[in-house]
Amino acid sequence: MKRSLKLILASALAAATVGTVAFFALPASAEAASFTVTNSWSTGYQGEVTVSNPASSKINTWKVQLTLPAGSTIGQAWNATLATGGQTFTFTPAGWNGTIAGGSATSFGFVVTGTGRPTSCTVNGQACTGLTGAPSATATSAPGKTPTSAPATATGAPKPSATTASPTRTATAGGTPLAANGQLKVCGAGLCNQNGKKIQLRGVSSHGIHWFPGCYTGAAMDALATDWNADLFRIAMYVQEGGYESDPTGQTAKVNSLVDMAEAHGMYALIDFHVLNPGDPNLNLARAKEFFAKVAARNAAKKNVIYEIANEPNGVSWAGIKSYAEQVIPVIRANDPDGIVIIGTRGWSSLGVSEGSSSAEIIDNPVNATNIMYAFHFYAASHKDDYRAEVQKAAASIPLFVTEFGTVSASGDGAVDTAGTTAWLDLLDKLKISYANWNFGDKAEGSSILKPGSCNAGAFSGTGALTPSGQLIRSRIRTPDDF
C-alpha cells in the first residue's frame, strides 16, 4: 500500500503536529522546503524534498540536513549529493541544480532503510523547530532491485479513469520490471532477461536533461512507474548544445541521479550519449571515453543500466561508427562487463536507410564486441513501409533496440500520425523489439508527451496533462508486459 506523509518546512515561526503528519518551521525570510514520503513498506520508505525560493532574487546554493533516529539510515539519493555523519544526512546540489531562481524550486529524493522519520532538520544552516511523527509502514516491498511483491494492483484490476492518478502496475512474478527481469543480456538477435526469456521493454525518453530539469523529478518517475507502467526511462544527455561539453561534471551527476531514480522505481535506465551535431561520433571520442568510464564505474553493480554510446550518427560511414564503437566499448567493459551496449547506426540511426544504405552493411561487418545491440530510430509521419521492411529484415540477423521514436514527423513537430504509429508499434510488439518514445517533456511541439507548463505544475499522472501524442503512447505502454 502506498502512503503519503508531508513534512512542511515553511517560513513561519511555529510548528504543529496533526496525527502522523509533522511540521517543521523555518525562521522568517528563509528558503522553504517540503518533505514527502512518496512510498513506504515494512522496512523503509522513499522520501522527496522540494527546496523552493519564494523570494524574487535567486539563491546560489542550498543545503538540507536531516537527522534520523538510530536504526534508520539513508544509503541512496538522487538529484542531490549525499554525505553521512552519524545519524545526520546532508544533501547538497547535484551540480546542475544549485542555483534556484526567484519563485522556483528544485527537488531531490532518497530511500531510507528503517521506519524512523526525521527528528530535526536545517536548511541552509538555519535550524528548524518542531517534532515528527512516525507512522507505521504498511507496504510489503521496497522499490529497487528485489521487491517481493507488486507495489500496486494486480493484473485484471480496473485501470484508473482518465482524470485520476491512481497508481497501477501490471503484476509480474517479481513485481517491478527490474525485479522481474534482473540483469539483461543479448540472446541471439533479441533481448533476454536473467532467466533467458526473450522480452520487450517499453518506455519513454527524456528531452535534453539540461533543458527540462523540472520534468525529471520523483513525481514524474512515480507517474511513469505506477500510472504508465513503464519499464524503461531513457536519459538523453546532449553532448553539445549546452550539454556535457559545457558542464561534464554537472551532466554526469544528473545522469547518475536519474539512474538511481529509475532503479528506485523498478525501471531500467538507458544512458544516452546524445550526439547529433556534429554527426560523426569520433569528434566526441575523448568525451565519450571520459563519460562512459565514469558512469560505468559508478553504476557497474546496478542491474538496470543500459548504455547507448551514440544517439544519431549522421554524415559518417558505418566503418567510422564501427571504429568509434570498438574504442568506447572497451572503456565500459573495463568497469561493467555485463551491461548491454547499444550502438547508433548510420543515417540518424536508420540502419543506413536515410542515407541510401541498408542494414546489410552492419550484418556483413558487425561491431567486434559481445552483449551489444544496434539502435533504430523512426518518426511515424516520415518513415513508412520501406523503413518497416528494413527493420523486419534486420531483426532476423542482428539485435535491435528502438531507443527513440516519435509519433510525428522527423522534425519532432506536427500532427500525430496515429495510423503510422500503430503500424510501427504493432511491428515492434510482434518482433519483441524494445522502444522508448521521444519525448517526456513539455516543450511546445508535437512530439512532446506533456502539455506546456505541466512540469512546473508537477502534473504527470492521468491524461489531463497529456498531448495527443502522450495519450497515444500512454495507452500503448499501459498494456500488460510479457515477462
Each residue's pLDDT tens digit, 328-354: 999 999 999 999 999 999 999 999 999
Residue 16 has pLDDT above 60, yes or no: no
Long-range contacts of 451-456, Cβ-Cβ distance < 8 Å, separation of 24 or more: 454/215, 455/212, 455/214, 455/215, 455/220, 456/214
List, by residue range, all CATH 2.60.40.290 domains of the chain.
Answer: 5-127
Lookup: cell for 223: 507517474
Each residue's pLDDT tens digit, 39-78: 666 677 878 888 878 888 888 898 999 999 999 988 777 7
- The answer to whether domain 5-127 has CATH 2.60.40.290 is yes
SS3 205: strand
Each residue's pLDDT tens digit, 156-169: 322 223 322 333 33
Average pLDDT taken over every residue of the chain: 84
Lookup: cell for 268: 531500467
List, by residue range, all CATH 3.20.20.80 domains of the chain.
Answer: 177-477
**What's the CA angle centered on 95, arms 76 and 33, to 5 degrees?**
65
SS3 360: helix
Q: Which helix (H) or strand (E) holds 388?
A: helix 385-394
Each residue's pLDDT tens digit, 164-208: 233 333 434 458 999 999 999 999 999 999 999 999 999 999 999
Each residue's pLDDT tens digit, 299-316: 999 999 999 999 999 999
Q: Which residues participate in catalysis according to the annotation?
A: 312, 404
- The answer to whether domain 177-477 has CATH 3.20.20.80 is yes
Number of helices (H), then strands (E), in the chain:
11, 22
Residue 7 has pLDDT above 90, yes or no: no
> pTM of the prediction?
0.70
